[in-house]
Chain A
Amino acid sequence: MHDKPLAAVPLFCTALSLSACGGGGDPATAAAAGTVDVALTGDDMERAGGTALTAAEAGSVPPADLGDLVIGVRADGRGPDGDTIGALLVGRPIAFGEAPRADAANGISLTRSEDCRFGGSVAITISDGDGSLGSGDALEASSSDCDGGEGVVAGRLSVVLVGFSGDFSPSGSATVTEADGSFEVASTLAVADLERAAF
């Protein structure tokens, strides 16, 4: 059994919140018809530096302005809203992480996933080098045509943690710091062409 997914979830939220702070990054580049990739750069994270969050707060709700993360989708005028994406890429990992799970040796690579209500799934991968969150750990949530009833989302959010202090446990308080760009969030999100959801 291990509790790593649970401990990691607030970090997702933290990263997403910090991403949302950036807002003014490079516009998205269309990757394929009906699909938009949004790349967040270090510039996007400028305002994230020095931001302090309480992990429990960050983990309790999706960031209110998560829609900022999908600038390209807004420009395109179609796609699910930020709350829908937040529910998929943040809310589902939270729910998933609440269940204790058995641990196994490496030798194979496992991704854990959760089915979505109307089809598709969200897969969660945690690359943790030493059993506790720290520098170099990577978290990823990948939505495979996940349909929760408000739109279909196909996207991936990956977060690489460079530095933090504090405690990322659900009841803990953590501070993500940026000093000379030492905190990085790399995020790519693709949102599928939708028929029923629109801004």
Chain B
Amino acid sequence: MQPSHPLLRWLACPLLVAAATAALAEQATIVSLGTGLRYRHVEESGARGRRLLTERGLAPGLDLEIGHRLGAGTLFGGIGVRDYGLDYDGQSQAGRPLETRSSYFENRLWAGYRFALGERWSLGMRWERSRVERDIRATAAVAGLEERYSQDWAAIGLRHRLAGGPVEWVEAEWHRSIGGTLRVSSPGVIDRVWIPLGASRGFSVSARIPLGAAGWFDHIDLEPGLSRTRSAASPSRSWRLGGVVQGTINEPERDEWQLGAGLRLSW
């Protein structure tokens, strides 16, 4: 489970590193550091499919993962962070055109097991907890929005190891949410309110292209990938201003694409 306190959250990373270092003596353990840069495109739609906003931009990220051979497969777990901004092109609640920026800070914690299915195939199952902080910047006429997503995910992926060529493996993974909440507030407009998130599901495809070894690293790999996630509108909850109920609030439908690549350094 992901620590919720910021200090504990950041302690989790060095603890993971320490555990990895301790396990390095064993050949069965692989530690890898991943860096990635992805183009992220988000669309949210309201009633009758009307587009409310589009966000787009580059999202750099960093992650650390440990894999340990266990039984017929590999047990793995990791932690990742992303800190970036997207261009926001949408409208206000009153319908004013609105162009601003959305700041994102994300952290993820995951664990899973990958079963070997013969020489070339493997089946991975993964649980993930994600926390996303999204701050839509205010303008002179329109108040901003603070959103805090906390969501659990389940994923299953099929990986095929290629016999030859520059690509080591390709993988297709299906993921879906298994619960989550959203905390929303807007200073002077919306008091803090919690909303259960709607169901999210999607897929990703990725590959690994070995680039060789260098320095401390036994492997350096390029990992391109593409993912899509669609989220249903959330249930509605009452929202308040100054403690007085003003109406209902919900998270609209969301359709998200990500395309990019990263370098993975393993030792």
Q: Which residues of A contact B (CB under 8 A)?
A: 2, 4, 102-113, 115, 123-132, 136-138, 140
Contacts and interface: CB of A to CB of B under 8 A. Distances in A.
Given A102-B189, A103-B142, A105-B100, A110 B247 contact: yes
B199 to A, nearest CB: 17
A104 B95 contact: no
B188 interface: yes
Interface string B23-52: 000000000000000000000101110101
B236 interface: yes
B138 A105 contact: yes
Contacts of B186: 104-105
Contacts of A132: 95
B148 to A, nearest CB: 12
Contacts of A104: 92-93, 142-145, 186, 189-190
B231 to A, nearest CB: 13
A125 B236 CA distance: 13
Interface in B169-225: 184, 186, 188-190, 195
B90 interface: yes
Nearest to B137: A105
B91 A113 contact: no
| Size bin of chain B's contact surface | 35 or more
A130 B97 contact: yes
A109 B147 contact: no
B109 to A, nearest CB: 25
B249 interface: yes
Interface of B: 44, 46-48, 50, 52-53, 88, 90-98, 100, 102, 134, 136, 138, 141-145, 147, 184, 186, 188-190, 195, 233, 236, 239, 245-252
Contact of B98 (A4, A106, A110, A140): A106
A126 B47 CA distance: 10
Contact of B95 (A113, A123, A126): A126
Contacts of B100: 105
Contact of A107 (B50, B136, B247): B136
Contact of B92 (A106, A109, A123): A106
Given A102-B189, A104-B143, A105-B136, A110 B93 contact: yes
B138 A127 contact: no
B239 A106 contact: no
A48 B159 CA distance: 62
B94 A2 contact: yes
A177 to B, nearest CB: 22
Nearest to B248: A111
Contacts of A123: 247-248
A102 B186 CA distance: 10
Contacts of B102: 107
Most chain B CB within a 10 A radius of its CB, from A108, A111, A137, A140:
A108
